[in-house]
Amino acid sequence: MFWTQLRRRLMIWRRPSSTVRMLLPGRGPMRVVYDKAVVHESYSFRARVLQRAARLVFKPLLRFTPLNDRSLATIRAVDKLSARRPRSPYVESIKFELGGVPVESMVHRFGSTSDMTILYLHGGGFFSGSIETHRRICERLARKTGATVISVDYIQLPEGSIADSVQDVITAYEALLEQSVHPDKVVVAGDSAGGYLTMKVAELANRRGLQAPAALLCFSPLLSIDPDREDKAVQRITRQRDAYLPVQRIAQIRERWLPEEGSAIEGYASPLHAAAYITSPTFLVAVEDEMLRPEVEAMALLLHERGVEVETHLWRKQVHAFPVLAKVLPESEMALQLAADFASRAVGELDRPPFVDPDTHDEVIVGELLPDDAA
């Protein structure tokens, strides 16, 4: 038995670019709360190495780096280095403004083949990330959908709070609707903090009487401002071992997100509470043991119970918001293709069978939303 397992591991090491099914001793198929979730059990050698590196290097840095204006400025300077990375030769971009908010649009150099527009909201905890750091994922979405992808440069810390970020993205969305030839085919997408903003756009569009997004694409979305709290009506069945998001820092980060003096967030502070305002078909991605996964499944349950179309994908051995790592991980390409197909289907443009990961399974464990007094 020992030699068999050792031989299998050696075979894996010799094939770093392949995707293989690897189940650790004592661990069976991934358990889920939302029973309709698509579970991706297999993972690549690259994904495993990246997860280990994040846990050993990046997580300690995030845990101990002071969250002051000086450190935030340093993070911004590092982010700007991403602008030096080569751009896709197949995608053309142009910068302009939507409602006074800076944006960058990306479209295939031979022109758009879709009437869809994707408004992309980058992640980064509201203090890092930019159009430059997330240009690669936007270029990928433009190529996979044939749509025009517009990335929003919304205000972040320390210049503004979450409330200011929310106002920027809903302003850009409203301006896009006014300018678009097909306002009914505007899709909103985002990762992490951008996933939070994606849900806020859907909520506020409903509150303001605007055209609802044609679809929502959320990669490891932040769905509450207190994901570290466990005294909420959210069922947890997997121990949180997030590869690089330190749970201990959330309380300190929250003080910067919501300063005592400043504007209040329009609508609900946590999108998880605003599920009743969300009517758009929703695509969700989360990682098996990341900190944000429990609330992603809770949101899936809330939307499903209201009859909203929701497609949820759970992945093993990935890092938070891994779809952003286009060209690095094969799983990133797969997740983006699944998201692209979902968006195209939502706007009625998918003219072929959607992509399906052959190594997935459905779980039979069914979760439920606990009442507030049972939390």
Collapsing DSSP to helix, strand or coil, 244 comes out as: coil
Beta strand spans in the chain (E)? 19-20, 38-40, 43-44, 91-98, 101-108, 117-121, 148-152, 186-191, 215-219, 282-287, 310-315, 360-361
Angle of the 330-346 helix axis to the 45-53 helix axis, nearest 10 = 100
Catalytic, out of 88, 161, 192, 280: 192
Report how far residue 375's alpha carbon sits from residue 373's, in angstroms, rounded to the nearest whole number.
6
Pairing assessment for the beta strands 215-219 and 282-287 based on DSSP bridges: parallel
3-state helix, strand, coil in the chain (%, to 5): 40, 15, 45
The CB-side HSE value for 177 (13 A sphere, CA atoms) comes to 17
| Encoded tokens for 364 | 């039979």
What single-letter DSSP state applies at residue 235? -
DSSP string for 292-329: THHHHHHHHHHHHHTT--EEEEEESS--TTGGG-TTT-
Radius of gyration of the chain (CA): 20
Q: Which residues contact 54 (CB under 8 A, 6 or more apart)?
A: 243, 244, 319
220, 168, 160: which is closest to 189 by C-alpha? 220
149: nearest Cα among 192, 110, 92: 92
Would you call 192 a catalytic residue per the annotation? yes
Residues facing 108 on adjacent strands: 91
Residue type, 218: C
Q: Which residues pair with 284 in a beta bridge?
A: 218, 312
Contact assessment for residue 63 and residue 246, using Cβ atoms and an 8 Å cutoff: yes
Residue 108 structure tokens:
């295939």
Active-site residue numbers? 192
